[in-house]
Amino acid sequence: MTFDRRIFNFAAGPATVPEEVLKQAAAEMLNWQGLGASVMEVSHRGKEFMALYEEVLQDLRTLMNIPESYEILLLQGGGLGQNAAIPMNLMGLGKNGPKADFLVTGIWSEKSFKEADKYGVAHLAASSAAEKFNTIPPRSTWQLSDDAAYVHYCANETIGGVEFPDVPDVNGKLLVADISSNILSREMDVTKCGVWFGGAQKNIGPSGVTIVIVRKDLMGHSMKITPSIWDWAKQAANQSMLNTPPTFAIYMAGLGFKWLLKQGGVKAIEKCNQEKAALLYNFLDQSSLYENRVTKEYRSRMNVTFFLKDDALNAEFLAKSNAAGLVALRGHKAAGGMRASIYNAMPLEGVKALVEFMRDFERRA
Amino acid sequence: MTFDRRIFNFAAGPATVPEEVLKQAAAEMLNWQGLGASVMEVSHRGKEFMALYEEVLQDLRTLMNIPESYEILLLQGGGLGQNAAIPMNLMGLGKNGPKADFLVTGIWSEKSFKEADKYGVAHLAASSAAEKFNTIPPRSTWQLSDDAAYVHYCANETIGGVEFPDVPDVNGKLLVADISSNILSREMDVTKCGVWFGGAQKNIGPSGVTIVIVRKDLMGHSMKITPSIWDWAKQAANQSMLNTPPTFAIYMAGLGFKWLLKQGGVKAIEKCNQEKAALLYNFLDQSSLYENRVTKEYRSRMNVTFFLKDDALNAEFLAKSNAAGLVALRGHKAAGGMRASIYNAMPLEGVKALVEFMRDFERRA
């Protein structure tokens, strides 16, 4: 299947990038800011790139309303890299040795939990594994430790399509939030967590750059074994340039931030995201062919998972949706079924087109 | 200073990318392979990107003549990341506990040496620090350990401009080669080292992807604390996609490999690199204004460092060369002076233009 036009891309990440961002990147690919070179060719330590870098941070600070008491780091290694980096930087703050609590609500928080086990005691404070990660365990069942350095949770589980409606209440303990798949999609009170982290490849731009927002007093407690590139204090002292940063990915993230500012910022895009998600979930709920299996209050606005009641129709559904230019709807192999990822850059018209297609498919099925 | 044309960019990395590579990337930015999406928007696990990925590996295998007994990994974190990853993966092979030998010939191998110290005994087998990293210590002075897991060296020191003319003789011990700044610039017998690694941002494409070429029997010995994303065996079992890879950087590296194949491969580009370096060094050697301070046989073909005999002329030299479209000649702050990085993508005409400018500058000085 080939297209001579842009399609609606429901991939879970890497994901859709706004068309105007791609156009700008293409237009200045050979000569950025009149330097006679691409942004990817210039020195990261040169004044032009450093100016860009500062602007990228400032735009993110504006968009998320990040106070000066928090540092913004742009690192490499993705969320899975931070799954190792976070325990190495923070676990040592545990009262009786390295320890952290984990709320496991899907495959991503489960990965975080397992990775942390290499660096100290990873304590499973709550898990919805028995419910196939279709929900969030009731608050009353969480078993938080007194001596853990922090509590880790994943704000949005990309694979299951489960999202925390708000920052969880952990009795004032230090919280670490994985926001890989809902960063900038909704308003978040940054002061409620000590660390926020996530890759850029869902709501921001291409893969290859990881955003870590960390309260400044939490830096400087790293274990000796922490790789320098992930030692938050060292990176903060070097503008995240202890080694060569992924300059093009940072530039693209910056274009993504500018685009979002132009849309009216996070508050405006959140409204749009609510509308897109409501459209799709309302359609699913009235359908007799499709169903979403997530507890209603925890349904993700970003990753809408659904199943056809007859699995035998899956192949036809995927082939026809793809032919209609509605691409990458297959669910993650660990979950099965379908998944429509509708991040910031997915326009409302994309979701409308999907619902229309699904309605039509149901009628003919 | 702004330009309406492409300049000659002597930056040490990120560095020049071939113009035709940039043109292709720009042309297919909005619609790659007729998918109706950019390569940076599609799933890394989709069949189109996986096909690209396999082709990228195959092209590198062809270019470097990498035998099937070696795995190629495309990772995140740069050379500095591998400075931590390599000890975590290999140091445990030491006979009496984690230990490795280091040949320190510049700032990069010194960084590798220091980082390794976190994970075991880092033994300084040789160092040219006392010679300001302007040379390689004589082979007879190296103190290799009997119980080290491996010997680490940096094939080309970007900052000092010092390059090993061949893979060093270490009495058959296991060698690890940092080829961040001379990968693909000259023929290398891959079988002579157990591990070769380097970032892409000098001889290949943009920053953000790290190439690790590792003999298969050396995988599977990682320490428990090894972050999953750097556990070579885990990544090899997952086509380097244990987490989302930097897809656009990989795509650009692939375009770089195609470009190099079109130039005739490594043998052909090596000839060109020899010619470029000879032109510049011969000019420096006959000049009474400029001088290179590196032992002749260890002069780098990639990073040509030089000093003006009168430091007071530095600012004028930089301003005038920049105005002439010969950009980024300032030496690294740790070394001072000037540096012309002339990687694969720097055309001979760029070096000719530089020599012409320098000759003219000398005449007027």
Tell me whether residue B4 is in a domain.
Answer: no
- A250 and A166 assigned to the same domain: yes
Q: Would the pLDDT of B1 be above 80?
A: no
Among B87, B125, B21, smallest CA distance to B227 is for B87
- A143 and A249 assigned to the same domain: yes
Share of residues in chain B with pLDDT > 70 (%): 100
Structure tokens at B320: 């005038």
Among candidate residues A262, A292, A311, the one where a domain is terminated: A262
Among candidate residues B215, B230, B262, the one where a domain is terminated: B262
| Residues contacting residue B349 through CB under 8 Å, at least 6 positions apart | none
> Measured between CA atoms, how close is B363 to chain A, in angstroms?
27
**pLDDT-derived band at B2, boundaries 50, 70, 90:** confident
Q: A347 preceded by cis ω (within 30°)?
A: no
Tell me whether residue A10 is in a domain.
Answer: no
- pLDDT for position B117: 97
Tell me whether residue B153 is in a domain.
Answer: yes
- Please say if B178 is a catalytic residue: yes
- A112 and A240 assigned to the same domain: yes
> Measured between CA atoms, how close is A282 to chain B, in angstroms?
27
Structure tokens at B228: 């999953």
Put simply, whether A71 touches B (Cβ < 8 Å) is: no
- B145 and B252 assigned to the same domain: yes
Query: What residues make up the domain containing B48?
Result: 26-262
Put simply, whether B31 touches A (Cβ < 8 Å) is: yes
Share of residues in chain B with pLDDT > 90 (%): 98
* Mean pLDDT score, B73-83: 98
Torsion angle of C-alpha atoms B50, B56, B57, B62, degrees rounded to 10: 140
- pLDDT for position A143: 98
- A312 and A226 assigned to the same domain: no
- Please say if B114 is a catalytic residue: no
Parts of chain A with a pLDDT under 50? none
Pick out the residues of the known binding site of B for L-glutamate: 45
What's the rounded Cα separation, in Å, for the pair A57 and B269? Answer: 39
E-state strands within A105-209? 121-127, 151-154, 156-157, 162-163, 175-178, 195-199
CB atoms within 10 A of CB B226: 23
The total domain count for chain B is: 2
- A350 and A360 assigned to the same domain: yes
* Segment A127-162, tens digit of pLDDT: 999 999 999 999 999 999 999 999 999 999 999 999
> Measured between CA atoms, how close is B126 to chain A, in angstroms?
23
Tell me whether residue B6 is in a domain.
Answer: no
Write the ipTM. Answer: 0.97
- B207 and B244 assigned to the same domain: yes
CB contact under 8 A, B205 and A40: yes
- A182 and A121 assigned to the same domain: yes
Tell which phi-psi region holds residue A322, choosing left (phi > 0), alpha (psi between -120 and 50) or beta.
Answer: alpha
Tell me whether residue A242 is in a domain.
Answer: yes
- Pick A7's closest partner by Cβ from B33, B37, B80: B37
What's the rounded Cα separation, in Å, for the pair B244 and A207? Answer: 7
* DSSP-based helix, strand, coil % in chain A, nearest 5: 40, 15, 45
Work out how many CB contacts closer than 8 A connect A with B. Answer: 244
- pLDDT for position B246: 98
- B254 and B280 assigned to the same domain: no
- pLDDT for position A365: 84
What's the rounded Cα separation, in Å, for the pair B44 and B244? Answer: 7
- pLDDT for position B365: 84
Tell me whether residue B211 is in a domain.
Answer: yes
Q: Would the pLDDT of B189 be above 90?
A: yes
**pLDDT-derived band at B99, boundaries 50, 70, 90:** very high
- pLDDT for position A2: 87
- A131 and A272 assigned to the same domain: no
- B257 and B274 assigned to the same domain: no
Among B152, B146, B95, smallest CA distance to B122 is for B152
